[in-house]
A and B are shown apart, each in its own frame.
Chain A
Amino acid sequence: EAEVAQSPRYKITEKSQAVAFWCDPISGHATLYWYRQILGQGPELLVQFQDESVVDDSQLPKDRFSAERLKGVDSTLKIQPAELGDSAMYLCASSPRVSSGYTFGSGTRLTVV
């Protein structure tokens, strides 16, 4: 069964350092999402891509977060500089079209110390 690949699985970084997460969606899925999930909460959207274009980044803290999907396939989410409050699970998901179910990756657990 096709999966959404994410790496790294875990990341520990010091405050003010840069960190990057990678996501490879299911082949052929045009829509890709990055969500952040704080422990005990539901996922909250950071950014949505349709192919290589950003569709919704209204909740992305653009002073420190950036996301790209240059060729409309895999995607990178970057945080620079990391803050203690960024500690969370970062989840990538893809879907064949916007109004269908999502397939999520296993996520990256970020701890900022």
Chain B
Amino acid sequence: SQQGEEDPQALSIQEGENATMNCSYKTSINNLQWYRQNSGRGLVHLILIRSNEREKHSGRLRVTLDTSKKSSSLLITASRAADTASYFCATDFSGNTPLVFGKGTRLSVIA
């Protein structure tokens, strides 16, 4: 079974707009990670946020974590056509178990 649930399942925006994707999970976590996957390719690690952190930035990416609500969000600012991909959240339960991935959000950025 998949731990994380991304929302929305699909998102279509214009280039230059911001894109927000959400992830909810069910049990306590050690850390939460976000990955990007271009069509037919492997996943690329974007950001890791630990359970004692509330926000992290990396370039145009901003990730927040609310452990009380068991949710995380990924914000991509000033989106570009090259950001078109599927985005997955993945949860690490305990630090000793493999990541459990959600079903992903398909982002389309229209030029």
Residue of B nearest to A48 (CB): B98
Cα separation A102 to B35 with both chains bound (whole Å):
9
Q: How many residues of A contact B (CB 8 A)?
A: 26
Q: Considering the complex, which residues of chain A in the window 84-113 have a beta carbon less than 8 Å from any beta carbon of chain B?
A: 89, 91, 93, 98-107, 109
Residue of B nearest to A101 (CB): B45
The answer to whether A98 and B97 have CB atoms under 8 Å apart is: yes
**Stretch from B13-21, B68-76, B88-96 at the A interface:** B88-96
Q: Is A45 part of the contact surface with B, judged by Cβ < 8 Å? A: yes
Residue of A nearest to B41 (CB): A106
The answer to whether A107 and B42 have CB atoms under 8 Å apart is: yes
Q: Which residues of A contact B88 (CB under 8 A)?
A: 42-43
Give B contacts to A, CB under 8 Å.
2, 4, 30-31, 33, 35, 40-45, 48, 88, 92, 95-104
The answer to whether B33 and A44 have CB atoms under 8 Å apart is: no
Number of A-B contacts (CB under 8 A): 62
Q: Which residues of A contact B4 (CB under 8 A)?
A: 42
The answer to whether B103 and A91 have CB atoms under 8 Å apart is: no
Cβ-defined partner of A42 (8 Å) among B33, B97, B104: B104
The answer to whether B48 and A100 have CB atoms under 8 Å apart is: yes
The answer to whether A104 and B97 have CB atoms under 8 Å apart is: no
- Chain A: minimal CB distance from B88 (Å): 5
Cβ-defined partner of A91 (8 Å) among B30, B42, B95: B42
The answer to whether B45 and A42 have CB atoms under 8 Å apart is: no
The answer to whether B42 and A33 have CB atoms under 8 Å apart is: no
Q: Is A56 part of the contact surface with B, judged by Cβ < 8 Å? A: yes
Q: Nearest 8 pairs between A and B by C-beta?
A: A42-B101, A104-B42, A101-B45, A99-B95, A104-B43, A106-B42, A48-B98, A42-B103
The answer to whether B40 and A101 have CB atoms under 8 Å apart is: no
Cα separation A102 to B90 with both chains bound (whole Å):
11
Q: Which residues of B contact A35 (CB under 8 A)?
A: 101
